[in-house]
Amino acid sequence: MTRAFRWMPHDGRRHAIRSELAPREEGATLCGLPLTVPPSQSYVNWCWPTCADCDVAWRTHEGIAVFPGQRTDRPDQPACAR
Ligand SMILES: [Zn+2]
């Protein structure tokens, strides 16, 4: 299944961007931050905190309800050392 968004470390947070954005293309995160997609796919900042605004927007798009007290682990995110 192709996802409409992917996660992108940017400005200290992991934000969601539209998955069709190509490297060096200018776009915006789901929470409205402008960004230029970096040319490298080898990101080193996967352990940055997830942007809460992007998380809500992503959940809304994916049809995942936002419940209080929900688990924070998601299977589509890379595992980070905790
Ligand atoms: Zn964001």
In a domain, 17, yes or no: yes
Domain count, the chain: 1
Mean predicted lDDT score pLDDT of the chain: 80
Mind listing the pLDDT tens digit for each residue in 28-54?
Answer: 999 999 999 988 755 566 788 999 999
6 alpha carbon to ligand 1 midpoint, in Å?
Answer: 11
Contacts of 74 (CB under 8 A, 6+ apart): none
1 alpha carbon to ligand 1 midpoint, in Å?
Answer: 23
Determine how many CB atoms are found less than 10 A away from the CB of residue 5. Answer: 19
34 alpha carbon to ligand 1 midpoint, in Å?
Answer: 10
16 alpha carbon to ligand 1 midpoint, in Å?
Answer: 6
Residue that wins the pLDDT comparison between 42 and 3: 3
In a domain, 46, yes or no: yes
| pTM for the whole structure | 0.70
- What domain range includes position 27? 5-62
Report the pLDDT value the prediction gives residue 28, as an integer from 0 to 100: 95
24 alpha carbon to ligand 1 midpoint, in Å?
Answer: 19
Can you tell me the distance from the alpha carbon of 59 to that of 64, in angstroms, rounded to the nearest whole number?
A: 5
Confidence of residue 61 (pLDDT cuts 50, 70, 90): confident
In a domain, 71, yes or no: no
